Structure 1
């Protein structure tokens, strides 16, 4: 259901049909390419979904990529980063499921999140790998590590994972993944979750935690046939401000390049499958 009074140029604001209080943004290019996975941009705790989406619209128009951005409002989705069910209608996983059902159906998307959005993105991919074509994580404050020795959201043991969600580790590890973080994102600001145990296990700043998580994921992926390595991209001259990351670090261009790579890999896979099908008929 489109709220036309809130349309902002080619980007429109929608109310979810199954829960009108949940909203999302959508950008549809003039000439959409159905072969390209949609890009879902997930905001951080500043909730500036429009600002994040706007960074990608020129690239999306040029490539025919559809853009989506959920709006996780502060009252109803207070703990969205941790997949916490903070409203009685939809938990954040179910909300994004419904957004995808309403817009792109069962087409897998590339999932991108910044800060708190990156927390949500990798945790969503852990429980919904079948809906994801690739994951790009920028400047997450902390991560769910691929270990059963810790409980969710710190590790893979069920812990506080909302029911009936279930983590599929092999499927997650087989997804293309990259982590982006500024080389100056080392401040321990008020938004950074910190404790003695968390600092010891993940590092004491976002750059250290990104580095540690990528290393842990790659150790786990090495044990899974077909699982690609997760790439760590350290963006020079960027701290934790997302506008600085985009304007000076050109982080959105790096994410767009990752999306292009995912798209090309999928196209090659489809060509291979088609060739095998022809050869065996």
Structure 2
């Protein structure tokens, strides 16, 4: 389907023109705003792309924001969180590049991911900062830390980064960023990557790791002589279940407000003096 022929009012499933086995969802609001960056929603390991996209439909209609949601299937995009896949045609970064190219062109996107999707989102922004207007990361299991002492995906040295990609950390550091995590997201469930080094350097649960990563970005920004561009939101009454995060914690509303700030004010984030004390209002 061409851009002009996409129907408004409901999410539509598409196949990527350059790889028909790669699919994505697209939602076009009734009155789309051509000046508004599209929002890309990236699912976690449950692969419920439609559920995450639908959480933002009311906001998309109010603001004229187009929505996109990649479908990184288990067989062909195993390891998409770390920018790797078993798909010989496309790695996940190239797949999202192609989705954006065939829908919104070169307009930078707002990028949101939940859990494994948040891992993908911040790593995509590290290698494609020019394609991102702002990034919101919800409940990531772990993060690529701003250090060259560790190899990707743990740090910024190339390591296992696909050879066609390169990290642009200075540009990433300037992007507006929001890190969200539930105040009850402290369980060490089977999906949480755990090892002695990771637990020591990032923390032993998602809340601790989010706090540590935001603090590390704050230090990196200060060292670079830059104002903060990262916000931490601790969402009350929320664990790691995404439906609970949306229904009880209203996490999607915090994300929407952050992206409204990005669109309306350019650089909305304030310095985080003590990340552990920042909570949702």
**TM-score normalized with structure 2 length:** 0.91
Aligned partner of 1:148 in structure 2 is 148
Change in 2 beyond 3 A, CA 1:22/1:202: same
- 1:232 equivalent to 2:217? Answer no
Query: For each residue in 1:35-82, what CA deviation from the matched residue of structure 2 results, as whole angstroms up to 9, or x when unmatched?
Result: 211110000000000000000001100110000000000000000000
- Alignment map for 1:32-71 (pairs within 5 Å): 32-71=32-71
- 1:94 equivalent to 2:97? Answer no
Report the Cα offset of residue 226 of structure 1. 4.7
RMSD: 1.6
Aligned partner of 2:221 in structure 1 is 221
Aligned partner of 1:78 in structure 2 is 78
Aligned partner of 1:159 in structure 2 is 159
Contact 2:8 2:30 in 1 (8 A): no
For the residue of structure 2 that corresponds to 1:134, the secondary structure is strand
- 1:133 equivalent to 2:133? Answer yes
For the residue of structure 2 that corresponds to 1:181, the secondary structure is strand
- Whole-angstrom distance in 2 between the partners of 1:141 and 1:55: 21
Change in 2 beyond 3 A, CA 1:32/1:232: same
Unaligned runs of 5+ in 2: 269-281
Contact 2:9 2:29 in 1 (8 A): no
Change in 2 beyond 3 A, CA 1:246/1:124: same
**TM-score normalized with structure 1 length:** 0.91
Higher mean Cα deviation, 216-225 or 162-171?
216-225
Unaligned runs of 5+ in 1: 269-281
- Whole-angstrom distance in 2 between the partners of 1:216 and 1:85: 28
Aligned partner of 1:16 in structure 2 is 16
For the residue of structure 2 that corresponds to 1:222, the secondary structure is helix
- Alignment map for 1:154-233 (pairs within 5 Å): 154-233=154-233
Report the Cα offset of residue 267 of structure 1. 10
Contact 1:115 1:141 in 2 (8 A): yes
Q: Whose Rg is larger?
A: 1
- Whole-angstrom distance in 1 between the partners of 2:226 and 2:258: 19
For the residue of structure 2 that corresponds to 1:36, the secondary structure is coil
Query: For each residue in 1:106-155, what CA deviation from the matched residue of structure 2 results, as whole angstroms up to 9, or x when unmatched?
Result: 10001000000000000000000000000100000000000000000000
Contact 1:194 1:204 in 2 (8 A): yes
Aligned partner of 2:106 in structure 1 is 106
Report the count of equivalent residues.
Answer: 264
- Whole-angstrom distance in 2 between the partners of 1:267 and 1:77: 33
- Whole-angstrom distance in 2 between the partners of 1:188 and 1:208: 11
- Whole-angstrom distance in 2 between the partners of 1:104 and 1:267: 23
- Whole-angstrom distance in 2 between the partners of 1:145 and 1:107: 27
Contact 2:9 2:27 in 1 (8 A): no
Change in 2 beyond 3 A, CA 1:9/1:35: closer
- Whole-angstrom distance in 1 between the partners of 2:173 and 2:267: 20
Query: For each residue in 1:168-227, what CA deviation from the matched residue of structure 2 results, as whole angstroms up to 9, or x when unmatched?
Result: 000000000010000000000000000011100100000000000000011111233555
Report the Cα offset of residue 265 of structure 1. 2.2
